[in-house]
Amino acid sequence: MITIDGPAGAGKSTAARLLAERLGYTLVPTGAMYRALALSVMRAGIPPRDGPELHAHLAPLTISVEAGHVYLNGEDVTEAVKSQEVARVTSEITTLAAVRGKVTPLQRQLAAEGAVVLEGRDTGTVVCPDAEVKFYLSATLEARARRRRAELSAVGATAPLDAITNELRARDVQDETRELAPLRRAPGAIEVDTSDLTADQVVERMAAAVDLHRRDAEPPVDGPPRANRLYTVMRILAVGLLRTLFRLESTGRENIPATGPALLVANHSSVLDPPLIGGAAGRQLTFLAKAELFEIPGFGGLIRRLNARPIRREGADPGALRTAMRALADGRALLIFPEGTRGDEGVLRPAKAGAGMLAVMSGAPVVPVYVRGSGRAWPRGQRLPRPTKVTVTFGEPLRFDGEHGGDRKQRYEIVSREMMEAIARLRDGITGGAHRPQPASYAGRSK
């Protein structure tokens, strides 16, 4: 997944088209999708305002993209959406939640197929915050205005440079200050100032960055992924602090495979859980964290460097499964919390089916983890932690092979349940992994 964002006139659409062609990827011009929706609203004579009329109009609309062309209810509107009038209505309607709520999921669906270049204003920040390579194209206002004028004269239209400059400036303000999905540089995005570059030069730079990413992301031919030095240092500091504050102890570390993929599944009742488990584990872990955290200046960059990967928490996120599968395919030890959100100390809740799906699809050994005490030390809703003893127990790895016949969804649910049962056995002090008799319920509170 590649995303390209930036202001109007920075050269995104040309760069995106050329890059997609060069890589053999699918192009998703997100602005054109919004334009198609605007065209539909204009044709229906509906005012471009939020309201029941607009909602009723949006519900049955289909907008699709194929081979760089945009279709509105099956009609190719690629050319029709290029008019100034459509652009004007588009900029009005793209501020509406109902409109973004309609188009963003369509874009995510297209992106989930992989091998895509998405181009727009919010593709790296909102649509695909977990894209592998993100670009932010910028250019001076003067350079963008000159380009616009050349584009207009190519189609026989003229406009004074001043007027074009003013229009671009107004669109920048609109794009940057709107409440929903404002134009921002996504965390980790590579900025390319295109002011003095030709389209070919821009694409050359982008392709080089994609190449570099591919080389970095490729799992090494032999041995595990390289150790991350910042992680090593931070872990030593964190363990020191966690031992002092919470008398952190751990058992069963030997149950984590020393190399190769491993899926650690833990109960969750505190923000302390990731550092506690990361501190207690004998090898470096990879974490999943909500995408918004990566947008916090400074903090986002730090957690990324500490092996955190962004996922979206609201709605279906096909990207999350891909991110997790990728980490395991790279031979990493990935920590997930199958219950999804934090709960009370000692209470285990049912796992999300996605956790079972990940275990089955990856075939990775699944290490159950039970954290005791973190929900007392720093529960949800409490401002500061209180010093309380915390222990982390790693259980024997479980294996769930992919082939089982029958209903796949049911299989994922069963596996999700078995994970929580293994965690419950650790909570209840029953050792011996999956082979011991199972307690009647995992939903009860420990004594």
Binding interface with ligand DC (CB under 6 A): 8, 30-32, 34-35, 87, 90-91, 94, 120-123, 175
Residue 32 or 291 having the CB closest to ligand DC: 32
Work out whether the CA dihedral 30, 172, 178, 55 comes out positive or negative.
Answer: negative
Query: Shortest approach of ligand DC to residue 143 CB, angstroms?
Result: 17
Residue 168 or 277 having the CB closest to ligand DC: 168
Query: Shortest approach of ligand DC to residue 357 CB, angstroms?
Result: 29
Query: Shortest approach of ligand DC to residue 8 CB, angstroms?
Result: 6
Per-residue tokens: 325 = 């599968």
Residue 39 or 324 having the CB closest to ligand DC: 39
Query: Shortest approach of ligand DC to residue 223 CB, angstroms?
Result: 41
Query: Shortest approach of ligand DC to residue 100 CB, angstroms?
Result: 8
Per-residue tokens: 292 = 């918004």
Residue 35 or 352 having the CB closest to ligand DC: 35
**Whole-number Å distance between alpha carbons of 325 and 332:** 10
Residue 133 or 426 having the CB closest to ligand DC: 133
Residue 291 or 398 having the CB closest to ligand DC: 291
Residue 34 or 378 having the CB closest to ligand DC: 34
Query: Shortest approach of ligand DC to residue 84 CB, angstroms?
Result: 11
**Whole-number Å distance between alpha carbons of 446 and 424:** 9
Per-residue tokens: 359 = 């275990």
DSSP letter at 445 equals B
The residue whose two tokens read 């992989």 is 114
Q: Residue 111 corresponds to which amino acid?
A: A
Cβ-contact 117, 51 below 8 angstroms? no
**Whole-number Å distance between alpha carbons of 255 and 273:** 18
Per-residue tokens: 256 = 């984590």
Query: Shortest approach of ligand DC to residue 13 CB, angstroms?
Result: 7
Per-residue tokens: 276 = 């506690």
- SS3 call for 276: helix
Residue 173 or 443 having the CB closest to ligand DC: 173
DSSP letter at 104 equals H
Encode 260-284: b = buried (16+ Cβ within 10 Å), e = exposed.
ebbbbbbbbbbebbbbbbbbbbeeb
Write down the H helix ranges in 133-281. 141-154, 161-177, 199-217, 229-246, 273-280
* Furthest-apart CA atoms within the chain: distance in Å: 81
Query: Shortest approach of ligand DC to residue 175 CB, angstroms?
Result: 6
Cβ-contact 36, 90 below 8 angstroms? no
Listed residue (133, 110, 247, 251) closest to 189, CA to CA: 133
- SS3 call for 310: strand
Q: Which residue is nearest to ligand DC (CB)?
A: 31
Residue 121 or 322 having the CB closest to ligand DC: 121
Query: Shortest approach of ligand DC to residue 130 CB, angstroms?
Result: 16
Cβ-contact 48, 91 below 8 angstroms? no
Cβ-contact 281, 394 below 8 angstroms? yes
Residue 31 or 354 having the CB closest to ligand DC: 31
Query: Shortest approach of ligand DC to residue 169 CB, angstroms?
Result: 14
**Whole-number Å distance between alpha carbons of 311 and 33:** 24
